């Protein structure tokens, strides 16, 4: 680990009522320009730091500190996700940039990738953690190599803002983009142009593949999720139940359930097994997140074991729900503006959140304590 000449220190915070002094470990945040470390403000320390001698909050991850703050973007961060191997975080922003960070150690920003001419709205890792795909307001998607930082391919064909992008979990390396031009386009990494189109009557705000890559899910401002047969190019069924625009969708790790975030202020969990039909597909609804007048495309995510869900929220909080009971286990502060995306680490109980305050937080969770009500 590089020595930046800045040591981790203890900071004394005085309780205004009792006068007692508690020592806190200072958590640092990163600047992308020169790799230097900058201490958090007093208010951020009060919200985020853990008492240095605390025995009530045992560590549950290999993060350097229980909470890490990553700073470097110059605009609203629309997406931030862990790589499938858990070693990296990729983020994209209104500033047109894609940044790559180390998950562990001091969370160094080790790459900045440029190429989009307008805001970068969504990001996904490929299954091998070697590449990233992005969606942008410049009407294009792109494929990037993280080792070289170079753009390998541009997905050109949409006539409107590209809101969402998804990649296959298995089989051929494919991507799908959803756009304001009311269609989703399917892309083969080996082919220049799109190989299939899935037209609708409304702007598409979210896309993702089924687990076996034979089906495609699209969601939009008509409050409906559609399931498509990729080979036939035909709609198979609809998921109806939301009462406002759907802003993000995510497939569960086992491929049997779909999560959706909507402007009706709910997360919904759907059964997408092939043998289920009709109204039986809606399994659960989680309440507690908020959308507001900004009408941001707030995303949603599953934990790696499929037991917990979370989603972006305009109220600045990060909430985590039990997927089976819909019980809210966490309501985490820290952000100063809307949270665009929340993502779970694939191997450890760590959550990543990104928002309009230009910050990314990595924080460790203790699900055993949360389920016990501690």
The confidence band for 30, taking pLDDT boundaries of 50, 70 and 90, is very low
The whole-angstrom separation of Cα 225 and Cα 221 is 10
pLDDT reading at 1 higher than 60:
no
Q: Tell me the HSE value of 337 on the side-chain side, using a 13 A CA sphere.
A: 14
The whole-angstrom separation of Cα 151 and Cα 7 is 37
pLDDT reading at 367 higher than 90:
no
Contact residues for 168 (Cβ-Cβ < 8 A; gap 6+) = 127, 174, 175, 209, 213
The confidence band for 170, taking pLDDT boundaries of 50, 70 and 90, is very high
Which candidate, 43, 14, 119, places its Cα nearest to that of 335?
43
Do strands 67-71 and 28-30 pair parallel, antiparallel, or not at all (unpaired)? parallel
The whole-angstrom separation of Cα 316 and Cα 331 is 10
Lowest mean pLDDT of 157-161, 243-247, 291-295, name the range: 291-295
Lowest mean pLDDT of 49-63, 143-157, 300-314, name the range: 49-63
Q: 57 or 307: whose pLDDT is higher?
A: 307
Rg (CA), the chain: 20
Q: What is the mean pLDDT of residues 95-101?
A: 98
As a whole-number percent, the residues of the chain with pLDDT over 90 amount to: 80
SS3 content of the chain, % helix, strand, coil (to 5): 5, 45, 50
Do residues 50 and 61 touch, judged by C-beta distance below 8 A? no
Element (H, E) at 364: strand 359-364
- Give me the residue label for tokens 């100063």: 336
Do residues 329 and 317 touch, judged by C-beta distance below 8 A? no
pLDDT reading at 236 higher than 90:
yes
The confidence band for 271, taking pLDDT boundaries of 50, 70 and 90, is very high
As a whole-number percent, the residues of the chain with pLDDT over 70 amount to: 84
């Amino acid at each position: 680990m590089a020595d930046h000449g800045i040591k981790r220190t203890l900071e004394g915070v005085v309780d205004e009522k009792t006068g007692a002094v508690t020592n806190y470990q200072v958590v640092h945040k990163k600047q992308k320009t020169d790799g230097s470390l900058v201490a958090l403000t007093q208010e951020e320390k009060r919200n985020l730091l853990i008492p240095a001698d605390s025995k009530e909050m045992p560590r549950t991850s290999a993060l350097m500190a229980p909470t890490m703050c990553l700073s470097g973007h110059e605009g609203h961060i629309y997406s931030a996700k862990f790589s499938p191997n858990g070693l990296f975080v990729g983020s994209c922003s209104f500033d047109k940039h894609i940044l790559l960070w180390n998950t562990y150690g001091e969370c160094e920003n080790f790459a900045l990738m440029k190429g989009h001419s307008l805001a970068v709205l969504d990001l996904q890792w490929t299954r091998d953690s070697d590449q990233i795909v992005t969606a942008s307001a410049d009407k294009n998607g792109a494929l990037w190599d993280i080792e070289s930082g170079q753009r390998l391919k541009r997905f050109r064909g949409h006539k409107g803002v590209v809101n969402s992008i998804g990649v296959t979990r298995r089989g051929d390396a494919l991507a799908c983009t959803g756009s304001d031009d009311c269609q989703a386009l399917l892309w083969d990494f080996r082919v220049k142009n799109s190989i299939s189109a899935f037209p609708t009557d409304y702007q598409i705000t979210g896309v993702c593949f089924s687990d076996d890559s034979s089906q495609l899910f699209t969601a939009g401002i008509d409050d409906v999720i559609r399931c498509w047969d990729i080979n036939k190019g035909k709609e198979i069924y609809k998921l109806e139940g939301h009462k406002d625009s759907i802003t993000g969708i995510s497939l569960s790790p086992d491929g049997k359930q779909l999560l959706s975030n909507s402007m009706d202020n709910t997360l919904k969990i759907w059964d997408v097994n092939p043998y289920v039909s009709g109204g039986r597909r809606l399994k659960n609804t989680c309440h507690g997140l908020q959308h507001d007048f900004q009408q941001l495309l707030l995303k949603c995510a599953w934990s790696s074991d499929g037991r917990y869900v979370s989603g972006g929220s305009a109220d600045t909080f990060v909430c985590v729900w039990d997927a089976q009971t819909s019980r809210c286990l966490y309501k985490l502060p820290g952000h100063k503006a809307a949270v665009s995306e929340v993502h779970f680490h694939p191997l450890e109980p760590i959550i990543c959140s990104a928002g309009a305050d230009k910050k990314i937080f990595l924080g460790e969770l203790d699900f055993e304590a949360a389920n016990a009500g501690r």
